[in-house]
């Protein structure tokens, strides 16, 4: 492709709206342009990269027996009502204003299940893997980070249909393996974490994550362990019981509002402090007891409570249920009817200090077994950087991550809701057992760039690069020799089946070099007067910055065998 005939609008400066490297570089290198918040146009180079990603997705999905569909984005709302997801999705689901009864599909479990119900009637019709690569619409409350969170995006979504749970396990595992291959082929460093299923419903799910400061998820990882912080645990010694078991005693703490105040003013070891926080769970008060300054993990609390409807109690509620303001709350002598749960680390602890439920006073020598009415000990704490991993004893790293893919064992939630049943070998009617597997296509592109760039621009690998070779004709408009040599090389590369972008613009050398580094094609082949007089060209490897001079007659062959 000749650059003079290809639309590649590069920018020298970062547009202000772009805050993260991938967004900045996608704009600067002319891959995308924003159209509205969370809505992007892909320019020819950007779309070329998307097509490369899609080819990889398609090959690996076909390799596990996937059959490609193209399903409509316009969906009848009735189907979504039948699965309860109109309500579950809430504002995220786009509704069509001037055509009642249609919504824009944010994902396609419902439509797949609808077609399965129509035609998959016998156990002989399964297993099936159905997939598509299609535009999804989600009315995100806050689109951000370029294409990483958009209102319209491309997703590879796949669905497995099985007759047995073992069949689902196998389909799930195949997708797991395929996803690893896909991300490896794309050259993305990733890890897999167990995750909560959210509004999708289902039994088990795992997320494929990419470590990135631009990520929205937080994970705890070592070389052998990875978990979303929402579920991560670590090896921390529980608060031990001490021998002397003194009687509970109230003491005045007029200036101690926090655990740190207590530690400082009364010389109490941090682990002997029990911090109390009050949450309203479905509008019922829970007092949650945490060790010292451990932080409550709200997602763990939600899991225990079985609801997302939790919030910290307000001041009025604190006084109403405990008798004190924050700072003096504890598990003993509560005023109202309130459920008390405690973190696992506090199991049966004694000799503890906590609030007296009386402003300005605390209690010491609390024995949680003797003095408090703890209904449950549960893991509720947020782990911290550096704590010891339960799997391999290494210190945990707490990192931000981007979710690239998500695989779910859905089970029968959708097949039951939409009555998609099959007849088994014994003549019985059973719901189809389903799995659902998604990958964000634009996210692959953005994550790759997040991981592979430097101060000059993007560093593409062969798999995703829009072109493999960037042929730079220096001062091509001023030198007939350079013109002739680079035209010939351009033809030779094309004849050899090497994807080549030919910078035949009338620009200065510096502009071409800088644009080439910005676009980041794997190899730059520089045709200039300097080397041409000896019949040579210079080759630069964008990733390693390796440069070498080679005969113009050898360079095509040389690059044919490179990655």
Partner RNA sequence: CGGAGCAUAGCGCAGCCCGGUAGCGCACAUCGUUCGGGACGAUGGGGUCGCAGGUUCAAAUCCUGUUGCUCCGACCA
- Site residues, RNA (CB under 7 A): 10-17, 19-20, 34, 36-38, 92, 106-107, 136, 138, 140-145, 149, 155, 197-200, 205, 216-217, 298, 308, 406, 408, 438, 440, 456, 474-475, 478, 508-511, 513-518, 526-532, 537-538, 540
Q: How far apart are CA 82 and CA 80, in angstroms?
A: 5
Q: How far apart are CA 119 and CA 326, in angstroms?
A: 60
Cα–Cα distances (Å) from 3 to 48, 515, 521, in that order, read 14, 11, 13
Q: Minimum distance from CB of 349 to RNA (Å)?
A: 29
* Phi, psi values for residue 326, rounded to 5°: -60, 145
DSSP letters along 432-450, please? PEEEEEEEEHHHHHHHHHH
Q: Minimum distance from CB of 386 to RNA (Å)?
A: 21
Q: Minimum distance from CB of 107 to RNA (Å)?
A: 5
Residue closer to RNA (CB basis): 216 or 261: 216
Residue closer to RNA (CB basis): 77 or 344: 77
Residue closer to RNA (CB basis): 73 or 239: 73
Q: Minimum distance from CB of 80 to RNA (Å)?
A: 13
Residue closer to RNA (CB basis): 172 or 422: 172
Residue closer to RNA (CB basis): 421 or 443: 443
Residue closer to RNA (CB basis): 82 or 475: 475
Burial of 119 (0-12, 13-18, 19+ CB in 10 A): exposed
Residue closer to RNA (CB basis): 274 or 526: 526
How many Cα atoms are found within 13 Å in the side-chain-facing hemisphere of 372? 37
Cα–Cα distances (Å) from 33 to 36, 39, 251, 290, in that order, read 9, 9, 64, 48
DSSP state, residue 497: T
Q: Minimum distance from CB of 274 to RNA (Å)?
A: 24
Q: Minimum distance from CB of 172 to RNA (Å)?
A: 14
Q: Minimum distance from CB of 267 to RNA (Å)?
A: 34
Cα–Cα distances (Å) from 5 to 428, 501, 505, in that order, read 63, 10, 9
Q: Minimum distance from CB of 326 to RNA (Å)?
A: 19
Q: Minimum distance from CB of 509 to RNA (Å)?
A: 3
Q: How far apart are CA 335 and CA 372, in angstroms?
A: 13
Count of residues in the chain: 563
Q: How far apart are CA 358 and CA 360, in angstroms?
A: 6
Residue closer to RNA (CB basis): 384 or 430: 384
Q: Minimum distance from CB of 479 to RNA (Å)?
A: 8
Residue closer to RNA (CB basis): 219 or 356: 219
Burial of 47 (0-12, 13-18, 19+ CB in 10 A): middle
Q: How far apart are CA 350 and CA 242, in angstroms?
A: 7
Q: Minimum distance from CB of 17 to RNA (Å)?
A: 4
Q: Minimum distance from CB of 144 to RNA (Å)?
A: 4
Asked if residues 472 and 513 have their Cβ atoms less than 8 Å apart, the reply is: yes
Q: Minimum distance from CB of 190 to RNA (Å)?
A: 17
Cβ-based neighbours of 41, under 8 Å, separated by 6 or more = 32, 33, 34, 35
Residue closer to RNA (CB basis): 14 or 347: 14
Asked if residues 298 and 309 have their Cβ atoms less than 8 Å apart, the reply is: no
Number of separate helices (H) and strands (E) present in the chain: 16, 31
Residue closer to RNA (CB basis): 148 or 366: 148
Residue closer to RNA (CB basis): 249 or 454: 454
401-438 b/e (C-beta count within 10 Å ≥ 16 → b): bbbbbbbbbbbbbbbebbebbbeeeeeeeebbbbbbbb
User: Between the CA atoms of 376, 378, 384 and 388, what dihedral angle is there, to the nearest 10 degrees?
Assistant: 120
Residue closer to RNA (CB basis): 166 or 534: 534
Cα–Cα distances (Å) from 20 to 11, 15, 292, 352, 356, in that order, read 16, 11, 37, 46, 48
């Amino acid at each position: 492709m000749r650059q003079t005939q290809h639309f590649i609008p590069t920018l020298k400066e970062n547009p202000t709206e772009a805050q993260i490297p991938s967004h900045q570089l996608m704009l600067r290198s002319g891959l995308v342009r924003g159209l509205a918040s969370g809505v992007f146009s892909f320019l020819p180079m950007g779309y070329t990269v998307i097509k490369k990603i899609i080819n990889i997705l398609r090959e690996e999905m076909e390799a596990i027996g996937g059959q490609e569909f193209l399903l409509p984005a316009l969906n009848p709302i009735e189907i979504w009502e039948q699965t309860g997801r109109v309500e579950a999705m809430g504002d995220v689901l786009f509704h069509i204003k001037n055509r009642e009864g249609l919504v824009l599909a944010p994902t396609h479990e419902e439509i797949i299940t609808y077609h399965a119900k129509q035609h998959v009637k016998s156990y002989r019709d399964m297993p099936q893997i159905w997939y598509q690569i299609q535009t999804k619409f989600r009315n995100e409350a806050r689109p951000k980070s370029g294409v990483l969170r958009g209102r319209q995006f491309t997703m590879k979504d796949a669905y497995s249909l099985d007759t047995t749970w073992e069949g689902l396990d196998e389909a799930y595992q195949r997708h797991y393996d395929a996803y690893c291959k896909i991300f490896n082929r794309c050259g993305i460093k990733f890890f897999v974490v167990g995750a909560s299923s959210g509004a999708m419903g289902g039994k088990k799910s795992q997320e494929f994550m990419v470590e990135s400061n631009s990520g929205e998820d937080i994970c705890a990882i070592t070389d052998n362990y990875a978990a979303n912080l929402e579920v991560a645990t670590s090896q921390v010694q529980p608060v031990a019981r001490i021998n002397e078991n003194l009687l509970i005693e109230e003491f005045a703490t007029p200036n101690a509002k926090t655990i740190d105040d207590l530690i400082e003013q009364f010389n109490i070891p941090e682990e002997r402090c029990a911090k109390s926080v009050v949450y309203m769970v479905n509008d019922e008060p829970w007092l949650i007891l945490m060790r010292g300054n451990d932080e409550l993990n709200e997602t763990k609390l939600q899991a225990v409570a079985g609801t997302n409807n939790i919030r910290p109690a307000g001041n009025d509620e604190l006084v109403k249920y405990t008798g004190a303001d924050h700072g003096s709350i504890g598990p003993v002598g509560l005023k109202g009817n309130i459920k008390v749960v405690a973190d696992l680390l506090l199991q049966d602890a004694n000799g503890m200090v906590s609030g007296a439920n009386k402003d300005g006073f605390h209690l010491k020598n609390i024995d949680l077994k003797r003095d408090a009415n703890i209904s449950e000990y549960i893991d509720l704490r947020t782990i911290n950087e550096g704590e010891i991993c339960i799997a391999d004893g290494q210190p945990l790293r707490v990192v931000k991550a981007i979710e690239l893919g998500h695989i779910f064992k859905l089970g029968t939630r959708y097949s039951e809701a939409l009555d998609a049943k099959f007849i088994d070998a014994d003549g019985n009617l059973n719901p189809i057992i389903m799995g659902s597997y998604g990958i964000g296509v634009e996210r692959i592109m953005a994550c790759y760039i997040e991981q592979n760039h430097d101060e000059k621009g993007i560093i593409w690998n062969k798999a995703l690069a829009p072109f493999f070779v960037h042929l730079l004709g220096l001062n091509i408009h001023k030198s007939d020799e350079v013109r002739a040599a680079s035209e010939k090389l351009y033809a030779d590369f094309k004849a050899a089946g090497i994807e080549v972008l030919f910078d035949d613009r009338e620009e200065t050398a510096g502009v071409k070099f800088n644009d080439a580094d910005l676009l980041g094609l794997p190899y730059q082949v520089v045709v200039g007067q300097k080397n041409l007089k000896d019949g040579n060209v210079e080759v630069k490897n964008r990733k390693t910055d390796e440069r070498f001079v080679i005969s113009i007659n050898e360079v095509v062959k040389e690059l044919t065998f490179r990655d």
